[in-house]
Amino acid sequence: MRLIGAVSEGSGAVNEDGLGWLGPRDDVTAAWIFDGVTGINRRNYLGEDTDARWLVSKAHARLMALAAEDMPPAALLAALVAGLIRDFGEASAGKAIPADYDPPAACLVLVKRYGADWQALRLGDSCLIARDGAGQHSIHAASPNTVLDRWLTREAKKRRDAGTPDGKALLADFAPQLKQGRAKRNRPGGYSILEASADALAMPETVDLGRPDRILLCTDGYYRAVDHYGLHDDAGLLDASLRGVGEVVAALRAAEAADPACERYPRFKPADDATAVMLAR
């Protein structure tokens, strides 16, 4: 696979997304994206800009080595999580971590070539779209967390209409609901997520992609071009990303800028970090 394009653009002071790949641009053997989960703790503890950014940085560094190993997705994830557990232990040693601490987490989508075929690993609500030579699509964008996201969007609109437009204030208002939702991480009836815990091994999604001609990995901030702004459908997003991932981000940023109060396009946050990796034969 060739690397056609890669972009990771933050929406604020700290970009909690991440991306990476292995191999030269004309022969990529593995690629991945992260979407760090916005923290709801009173402060950050782990020495980076945010605890989510810390987790993404550590996971990326470990994948740069692990993704080169000849191990199936489940074993790769197990090694990654074991490393993150060690990293968290070192970073938190001697620190007064509160009992109600919400540990850092991130969505992850990884694709890796095994022989001539490709397999994927997905945790969280970031997206994977692939197309084979016959034009058939494999689309993985759904998440059990979508119900909570839609509820938050509706409730945030009510708060904004009542005069509470600030994102930090909204986050504080909804902290109890967010904490309740996060208790379902890696639990039956909940959703998978990457974290520094063996719980992250409970329910990852694995996908046999076969021999695709196109692969797009993207965070939900990039996928807003489909599910929020209606700029593309799934197939159209794949085609647009083939032409240029930067142009896709520019278009969704324009849509966000034209609707800063989230009225035309209801959403919890006016803008989100956006990351994508586009591969093609």
How far is CA 232 from each of CA 112, 224, 280, rounded to the nearest angstrom? 26, 9, 19
Q: What distance lies between CA 192 and its chain's CA centroid? A: 12
pLDDT number for residue 177? 66
Per-10-residue mean pLDDT of the chain, 281 residues long, equals: 98 95 98 93 86 97 97 97 98 92 96 97 97 94 68 63 59 64 84 96 97 97 94 97 98 95 83 97 95
3-class DSSP assignment, residue 36: strand
Q: What distance lies between CA 108 and its chain's CA centroid? A: 5
- Please compute, for residue 266, the number of CA atoms within 13 A of its CA located in the half-sphere on the CB side: 13
pTM beyond 0.85: yes
Comparing CA positions, the residue from 253, 254, 269, 256 lying closest to residue 157 is 269
